[in-house]
């Protein structure tokens, strides 16, 4: 699989940041027992990974804009292109020594995502896609699941934590969805949830109140794997609203009906 020059830059950057995070992740397990706690260490790991990504991506494409979790937003000389980056999606998992977290990089051109990379460094799974070129995991072409019955399907979501206001809505979603499906998973990394839909590991995924960097790469990876991806309000932009629903095509209509209530 030979991608464009931009995609190759993204994959190289994700690998480099991933290597740094894997080293730090091994440390986290030792820190769990210390009184000082691992929180500060993980924040430093996150910031270090973002610096690697910024050096690599902006070094290769200095005119592009930049939007990232830690560093905020910087317009570029080229107003039509920007990198949208999450150096560590699944921070809480990372902090607890759970090997389910990822580096996420998207390239936006004229308001549309044209390339995306989600790298699960702990498992060495590189999910990537580019407009018109399909979706891939390492060397393998990905397709969404072929299941077409809700009752045989599993879905993923994020559950609101720490008193977030969208808890009642999510509980209503679950009350409607759980009787109709084979199970719901909450694995704690939105970028990987979307990559897993693309890989056919889940049939669908939905979540509210996400940030652009949580979902940007996943959008193109799902679409290029043959899936459908919309805002919870079908008219709204996923990136701007932070609400997303995606699945394979056969169950999208039924799944969306359940979630949209």
Binding residues for Mg(2+) are 69, 86, 88-89, 214
Q: Is 33 exposed, middle or buried (0-12, 13-18, 19+ CB in 10 A)?
A: exposed
Could you tell me which residues are annotated as the binding site?
A: 69, 86, 88-89, 214
Query: 12: how many CB neighbours lie within 10 A of its CB?
Result: 14
240 touches 250 (CB < 8 A): no
12 touches 59 (CB < 8 A): no
């Amino acid at each position: 699989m030979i991608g464009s020059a931009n995609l190759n830059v993204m994959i190289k950057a994700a690998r480099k940041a991933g290597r740094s995070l894997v080293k730090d992740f091994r440390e986290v397990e030792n820190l769990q027992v210390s009184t000082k706690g691992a929180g500060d260490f993980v924040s430093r790991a996150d910031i270090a990974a973002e610096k690697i990504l910024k050096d690599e991506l902006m070094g290769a494409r200095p005119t592009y804009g930049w939007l990232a979790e830690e560093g905020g937003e910087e317009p570029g000389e080229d107003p039509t292109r920007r990198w949208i980056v999450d150096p560590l999606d699944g921070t809480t998992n990372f902090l607890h020594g759970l090997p389910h977290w990822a580096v996420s990089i998207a390239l936006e051109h004229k308001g549309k995502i044209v390339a995306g990379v989600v790298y699960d460094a702990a498992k060495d799974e590189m999910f990537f896609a580019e407009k018109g070129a399909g979706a891939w995991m390492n060397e393998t072409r990905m397709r969404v699941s072929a299941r077409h019955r809700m009752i045989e399907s599993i879905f993923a979501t994020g559950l609101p934590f720490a008193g977030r206001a969208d808890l009642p809505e999510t509980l209503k979603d679950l009350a409607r969805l759980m009787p109709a499906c084979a199970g719901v998973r909450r694995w704690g990394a939105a970028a990987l949830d979307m990559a897993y839909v693309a890989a056919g590991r889940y049939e669908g995924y939905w979540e509210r109140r996400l940030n652009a960097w949580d979902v940007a790469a996943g959008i193109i990876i799902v679409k290029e794997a043959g899936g459908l991806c919309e805002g919870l309000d079908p008219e709204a932009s996923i990136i701007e609203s932070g609400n997303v629903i995606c699945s394979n095509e056969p169950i999208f209509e039924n799944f969306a009906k359940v979630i949209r209530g």
